[in-house]
Amino acid sequence: MPDRARAAVLFVCLGNICRSPTAQGVFETLLEKSGYQGRVDVDSCGTGDWHVGKPPDPRSVSEAAARGYELGRLRARQLHVSDFHRFDYILAMDRANLATLRALCPDDFPGHLGLLLDLLPGGGGREVPDPYYGGSGGFATVLDLVEAASEALLAELQRRGFIAHGSA
């Protein structure tokens, strides 16, 4: 991990309009509610470029809003190789995107590159399913998984000393 007091987390999916912006919004809200707003840099991106500049999928926005998360301000962007120098944690939503990340990852990347759900106990190898071609239930499932993984990520950042327990 880079030697700094402030962590940087990047969530990655394919188009950056469903899963990764949901993870960004959920994790930012968790940080704010925990009193850690501004203590962790959070962003999201896609490995593909076809949605660059677009807001999250309206179904993601709607499902997230029903749980108190604001995603409408976010805009899709594509992964840049420079992201490997900016972020301590680069968390993919699925194995296909993780494979793309590994192929682009510089040999000297000192951070954590893995699946988001690997942070959950018993979550090893599990993927956040892509809800894009399904119904609204898929977006609720994404939120359920992302909320649980966000709690685990916060605990990981505390354990690694990026955020001190009780220092909110």
- Judged against a pLDDT cut of 60, whether residue 168 lies above it is answered with no
Average pLDDT, the chain: 93
User: Of 91, 105, 86, 76, which is closest to residue 146 (Cα–Cα)?
Assistant: 91
Q: What is the CATH number of domain 7-159?
A: 3.40.50.2300
User: Of 112, 121, 120, 113, which is closest to residue 146 (Cα–Cα)?
Assistant: 120
Please measure the distance between the N-terminal and C-terminal CA atoms of the chain and give it in whole angstroms. 22
165's CB contacts (< 8 A; 6+ apart) are 158
Mean pLDDT of 36-55: 96
Residues annotated as catalytic are 13, 19, 130
What is the per-residue pLDDT for 19? Answer: 98
Q: Give how far Cα 145 sits from Cα of 12, 119, 126, 150, Å.
A: 15, 11, 10, 9
Mean pLDDT of 69-75: 97
Cα 59 to Cα 102: distance, rounded to the nearest angstrom: 30
Domain assignments of the chain as residue spans, ordered by start: 7-159
**Tokens describing residue 153:** 């990520």
**Tokens describing residue 33:** 């509610």
What is the per-residue pLDDT for 122? Answer: 86
Cα 42 to Cα 21: distance, rounded to the nearest angstrom: 10
What is the per-residue pLDDT for 166? Answer: 55
**Tokens describing residue 156:** 């990981």
pLDDT tens per residue, range 81-128: 999 999 999 999 999 999 999 999 999 999 999 999 999 988 788 999
What is the per-residue pLDDT for 5? Answer: 59
